[in-house]
Structure 1
Amino acid sequence: MDPMTSFEPACSLSEPLVVDATALPDDMLELERVAGYLDESQRALLRRAWAMGATAHAGQVRSSGEPYITHPVAVARVLAEQGLDVETLLAAILHDTIEDTALTRDDITAAFGPTVAELVDGVTKLDKLQFRDRQEANAESFRKMLLAMSRDLRVILIKLADRLHNMRTLGAKDPRSRQRIARETLEIYAPIAQRLGMNLIKAELQDLGFRALYPRRHAVLEKRIRAEPVVRREALVQIEANLAQRLAKEKLKHRLISRVKSPWSIYTKMRAEGKSFAQVMDVFGYRIVLRTVADCYHALGVVHATYKPLDSRFRDFIAIPKANGYQSLHTVLFGPYGSPIEVQLRTEEMDLIAEKGIAAHWAYKEGKDASDGPNSAQSRAYNWISGLVESQHDAGSSLEFLENVKVDLFPDEVYLFSPKGDILSLPRNSTAVDFAYAVHTDVGNQAVAARVDGRLVPLRTRLANGERVEIITAKSSTPKPQWLEFVVSGKARTAIRQQLKQIGHEDAVQLGHRMLDRALEALGSSLERVPAARMDDYLQEGKYPRLEALLADIALGNKMPSKVAYILASEPGEQREPGAAKRAHTAMTQEKILITGAERGVFSFANCCMPVPGDEIMGYHTAGKGIVVHRLDCPNVAEYRKSPDRWVPIGWDRTVTGDFSAALRIEVDNRPGALAQVAAAIADAQSNIDRVEYLDRDTNIAILRFSIEVRDRRHLADVIRKVRRLSVVLGVQRI
């Protein structure tokens, strides 16, 4: 705040104030004009507030030399431009009185009621905030700010308007103060405005902050924008005309606005993406505002028919609004001049919320309330703030609370609470698995599910700012390879890979131990009876650092257990009778190895026959792959009979867990909806569809291949029965 002159009021502030409208200064007359949506009695209240404020601030001046009352009136005008209610405007006019004058909260309550007094008091507390930068911001002040916002969001609206007018008049400050204020504006206030969906205020705060912090850079970019080539201006007009013509032909009432990038957005994009000015400017942007949601989707089809879309650049924020309530359809088109065209489509109400955010709740209250529904900017802002306030009870310290707030202001990171109130910072789009590994590697390795804000969720659930996450663990649990498909943090990815590799190695060692032990038993020996010197010689000759490495190599098919056993069981120079190694293999294969479903690192299931639990199976020892499991009726088994030494007898354990791949060949009537009926029947049988492809198709019949997941033969039979019952299905068989 500017240095103020202490002042004692010249009159009793508790007396009713009657103000002659013709005696108002120009800035108050302008405020009344902008606040024309208020009725006469409400505008009379504004005049009374001005009289009270002017009396209280009499003798006080700003750094520019202007009477101090001009500042709160300008703040109120900013809010009136946003369509705020009369209570907010009254509080804005009086927002500095409690702190800087003899006026008290009781005086304001007596004159304008408790709500206005509470708003002024809330802003007074915010005025005491002293931000230096993100790292050094006062944590307790952040806590007070959020608590004030939770009581009434209009407190932060007044504070943002106050900051905006201060930025507009920043030239009166000394250079050091300008730098400090500009930096905290860009780092604190502009992000808060963005988080509350107030795009107009956010954009102006960013531009003014950029101008004050980097005046030369701002001047250069502004000059380049003004000197936009004539060719580009002509292209903008031509594209706009084409879009308008197509929309008019479809009888879609609309407003079409070409969007111009600001110096700040150009600057940040150049820095973040390493692009030149020409590359950033070489994008045409348009906003199309329509009447209804249906019109938005209709218009989307029109613009896609006008210019081809980039399929990877379409975003539907109408169906899935942003966290601050923002709704629009975003698409990027191939432009006729070789440049992309960015198009936003939204309704008038969405445009109001996109520009004014939570302020839209109080705007035009005589009409439709913009806060209706859970996706409104108002309700989402309250949910965000109430969630932060609730979590601050568990945070333990103001510093932790500060870290939680910073998350939503600087969204490249996600800050999350542990059950004990600790805060963990993770990359955006992190999942519960990322959180588990951030807590501790052992927690991640044993994770089975998560609770997010008390709700039980799958481990692949993406986490949002400020959520409280609890990981449920089980000692018997191990990481799954599928986790690598959705984790985003480097720590989680590295730990999962390491553990999977370790698990696969342990499974291989155990299986190799069983296979070698059986082969040795067939020769009247065992691993324990093999002399240590002989084992060491064999390991050294094979360049194995430890016995475990040899056993894993056996399980993976790189060494045949019967041949290893033959060498280890023989004395140096001893010649075993002919066929001993073969008998060792035969004896070794008399006992089946049972599959539980957990040994995926050692066993793999052949794609040629896709065995599932319940099938008669055999194992083939394949170099580098371990034991590949085939059905006994697999066409390839005849080829494998030529290498009997690689056969491994295997079977299914009594309890087998996991899903197994299977494939169905399904003939259907080639008519609309047939594919959907089959897919629904498979889903009804509790089976997942991995892939669908057409094997053959004509005008009457279509033959499809469904790759599905089942638990066992019974489950597969149930899927086939449900599909076969469909009237559109002519035949089903397992592939």
Structure 2
Amino acid sequence: KMLLTLSDDIRVCLIKIADRLHNMRTLGSMPKHKQMKIASETIYLFAPLAHRLGLYAIKTEFEDLSLKYRFPDEYNQIKQKLADTEPQRLQFIEKFNPPIIEKLKENNIEFEISGRVKSIYSIWKKMKRKQVSFEEIYDLFAIRIVFKPSPLIPEKSQCWHVYSLITDIYKPKPDRIRDWVNIPKANGYEALHCTVMGPEGVWAEVQIRSERMNEIAERGFAAHWKYKAEGKGGEDAGNDRELDQWLAQLREALNSPSEDAVEFMDNFKMNLQVSEIVVFTPDGESRTMPKGATVLDFAYEIHSKIGNRAIGAKVNYKITPLFAEIHTGDQIEILTSQNARPQVEWLDHITTAKARTHIKQFLKRDGENNIVRGQELFEAEMKKLGVPLQARVFRKVLPAYHSAGKDEFYSKLGAGIIRLDGLDKILKQNAASKLMKYWTLQFANPFRFLGTGDDRKKKEGEEGGEQAGYRYVMAECCNPIPGDEVVGFKMDDGRVEVHKKNCHNAVKLSAQHGERIVPAKWSSEKVMSYLAVIEVRGIDRVGILYDLAKIISGELNVNIRELHIHSHDGIFEGTISLYVRSSEDLKMIMDKVRSAKGVEKVNRTEASMVD
């Protein structure tokens, strides 16, 4: 309820955050299970929300108090170690600050300089992320310089001037410069951060802010609007749009909430992501996106219509698929097509709530339209065949079209994924089981032709041509099929290569390597086989369909009933219906298919096949 009021008045949220902060400060009087519940809620939602609104001090207190009640021992250990190492930090600051103070005074800059210790939660999180001890955390504190800006010089220029003065004294670490002056964070935060080599070879972070930037950093949302209303931002007032854009996105998400409260909370949480990247449109307009965002997220960030019609992009002038991750500095042009439309699998490749909301809305509308259209088509076809719509009809039709229920069947039919060709045959037959003719190869024991005493004592049945358990492959030169007269040749790796008897290579091998001949013949048997359906998914490549058919029918000699494969965005997926004799056979087939190059996933679908 509190979140929904954000679309009307965000001050309600500020009051609720203050209320939650008071609850956290008095949490010690609560029972343990209540402490865990409230602390978990706070770290999941309220801390990211406070951060997004620029309330840094409140966000830090939320995190520390949450850690205190969730992991009290670790919290107390870090707190104690911070207290123990405080004299060392003060000693370092006494050496580090004086040269900077002197330099800034020489240049007539009014400023305040202070030290900021890293929060307990931030230290704990870094220890967990990097798997290091407290003693191995080297950036425990930062030096903050807040200057009074000159009215005649832009604040940005003055920030870089202070940076220049500091780096005249201490050498900077080039990959640790954070420029949030030119491109502020989405919560309105502006500052210039740098890491420099201080005395005794210790790296130290320096934060450079104007008084206005500092007030926004400390007071967040309220200070942001104070300066916006007073018009004191100067040229930096244009940066207000970052927070305004986020609030607009938030209101858009809140105006179409999910019926599922948990899903709604998760979608809202996605809007609170704080690790950000900055990317650019073809016209050079910057857009702030969450870290890990894909091309598809960016397409929906531009406009929902562009997202719905997206087929790919040019990232830095190179063609890139929809699901590719984007990075800071990328310039992205979205490629669209009138025939493109959102797919269910798109939901697995997005990180923003905006993209998720629009994809789900489209799929829901499209699904409802397809169901109505599909039902009309099916009822018309059944009327034409003169068959009443009864439960037994769906017991045959649903498995035949690989649908779990009527809505899925109607949706596929309405979308044109399936057709009703051959519906009359489906209604007349039971496809669950079938008496199939299976061909197998039988090999005589090749060693009996060497005439050894031991081999002559073998059982008559084995000498008469029983299968000797060899692994075999079909020769590609003649591609023998069941029923052909064949002969086998034992290869160096122990397998038997099967040729047609009239194959010229077989003649040649017989002449040169007669000792390797393994007599072979086809035999057949009729057994009850059962229909099974497997789903396959993987990286598309030339020849994947041929390889799958070759593995199943060529190598494993299994009858394929239906094979549906489609490719999109470099991915192929589909279903294969085949007749197997047992679950062991099916498992062997799935393992073999899974080993094919490019295949990422093989699953069995549980389709019930009944009369």
Q: TM-score range by the shorter chain?
A: 0.3 to 0.5
TM-score, normalised relative to structure 1? 0.39
More strand by share: 2
Q: Which structure exhibits the higher relative contact order, with contacts defined as CA atoms closer than 8 Å and separated by 6 or more residues?
A: 2
